[in-house]
């Protein structure tokens, strides 16, 4: 039986690349995002490339919090079950503090933190009833330190990381695995406004690494592992004058 995974934010970036990677590995996919037309195009392309693939699509805006449980249930029904949630939907607006763009900061927190929490909460309810499951949450290396133009994004990702670690303790011995991923700079529209993107990798390369981490059910990892595994702890000690140059 193929593994069944639901990917949020599947219309672009990491989510889209992971859909192609996992379809090639024989997974059954439920793809969600706000842009239904794009999801349908991805579904049709995946099924052309992999004729035996099971791909269902469903519109989802994670900030429509009350709608999330119904979408999770509909996707699980469409796949005939659900094994893995890949909580990936997010935005990056690159706003500066004190520049009249607090609405963008609020949208970022509502999407990347509260929307992610709503998605995980609904999936955990399903997994608890089922008796098994795997939550994979996308945080970020920006959760390790505060970067210019990334204040609300980093705050949301740091909060989501802590939320997932708390969840891991809650579901201990309940056959639900929790993976926290901290991608570095992957070439997506979320970070292309930044003037510095060290160790940049393509979405496809990132997706290959992430697929392996999902299959190994790692507890936590940066993406890629090197050099971020070494740099992650170091970043917390960088002086402000260095961080200001990013």
Domain 4-243 in CATH 3.40.50.2300? The answer is no
Please give the helix or strand (H or E) that residue 37 lies within, else none.
helix 36-49
Task: Give domain limits for the chain.
Answer: 4-243
- Identify whether the C-beta of residue 145 lies closer than 8 Å to the C-beta of residue 157: no
Does residue 153 carry a catalytic annotation? yes
Half-sphere exposure of 28 (CA within 13 A, CB side): 15
Lay out the sheet containing 84-87: strands in order across.
55-59, 28-33, 4-8, 84-87, 133-138, 176-183, 220-223
What pLDDT is attached to residue 194? 65
Cα angle 23, 26, 32 (rounded to 5 degrees) comes to 40
Taking CA atoms, 150 is separated from 198, 220, 238, in Å, by: 15, 22, 16
- Identify whether the C-beta of residue 141 lies closer than 8 Å to the C-beta of residue 182: yes
What pLDDT is attached to residue 240? 82
* Helix intervals (H) in 50-92: 68-79
What pLDDT is attached to residue 243? 77
pTM higher than 0.85: yes
How would you write the pLDDT of the chain (246 residues) with one tens digit per residue? 899 999 999 999 999 999 999 999 999 999 999 999 999 999 999 999 999 999 999 999 999 999 999 999 999 999 999 999 999 999 999 889 999 999 999 999 999 999 999 999 999 999 999 999 999 999 999 898 888 888 999 999 999 999 999 999 999 999 999 999 999 989 887 777 666 778 889 999 999 999 999 999 999 999 999 998 888 777 778 788 877 877
Percentages helix, strand, coil for the chain (3-state, rounded to 5) are 50, 15, 35
**103 CB-near residues (< 8 Å, 6+ apart):** none
Contacts 24+ apart (CB under 8 A), 47-54: 49/20, 49/23, 49/24, 50/23, 50/24, 53/23, 53/26, 53/28, 53/29, 54/2, 54/28, 54/29, 54/79
* Helix intervals (H) in 114-150: 116-130
- Identify whether the C-beta of residue 66 lies closer than 8 Å to the C-beta of residue 14: no
- Identify whether the C-beta of residue 116 lies closer than 8 Å to the C-beta of residue 125: no
- Integer Cα distance of 73 and 67 in angstroms: 10
Beta bridge partners of 32: 8, 58
Closest CA to 182 of 226, 214, 134, 138: 138
Catalytic residue among 27, 126, 153, 185: 153
């Amino acid at each position: 039986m193929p593994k069944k995974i639901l990917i949020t934010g599947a219309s672009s970036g990491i989510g889209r690349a992971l859909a192609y990677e996992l379809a090639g590995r024989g997974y059954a996919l439920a793809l969600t995002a706000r842009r239904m037309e794009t999801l349908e195009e991805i579904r049709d392309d995946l099924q052309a490339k992999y004729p035996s693939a099971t791909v269902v699509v469903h519109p989802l805006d994670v900030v429509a919090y009350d709608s999330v449980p119904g979408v999770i249930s509909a996707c699980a029904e469409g796949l005939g079950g659900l094994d893995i949630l890949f909580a990936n939907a997010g935005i990056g607006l690159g706003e500066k503090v004190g520049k009249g763009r607090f609405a963008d900061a609020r949208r970022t927190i509502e999407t990347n933190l509260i929307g992610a929490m709503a998605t995980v909460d609904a999936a955990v309810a399903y997994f608890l009833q089922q008796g098994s499951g795997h939550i994979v949450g996308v945080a970020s290396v920006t959760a390790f330190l505060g970067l210019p133009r990334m204040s609300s994004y980093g705050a949301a990702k740091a909060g989501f990381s802590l939320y997932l670690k708390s969840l891991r303790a809650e579901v201990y011995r309940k056959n639900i695995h929790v993976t926290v991923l901290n991608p570095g700079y992957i070439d997506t529209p979320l970070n292309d406004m930044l003037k510095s993107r060290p160790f940049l990798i393509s979405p496809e390369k990132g997706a290959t690494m992430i697929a392996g981490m999902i299959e190994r059910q790692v507890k936590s990892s940066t993406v890629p592992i090197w050099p971020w595994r070494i740099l992650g702890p170091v970043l917390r000690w960088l002086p402000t004058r260095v961080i200001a140059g990013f």
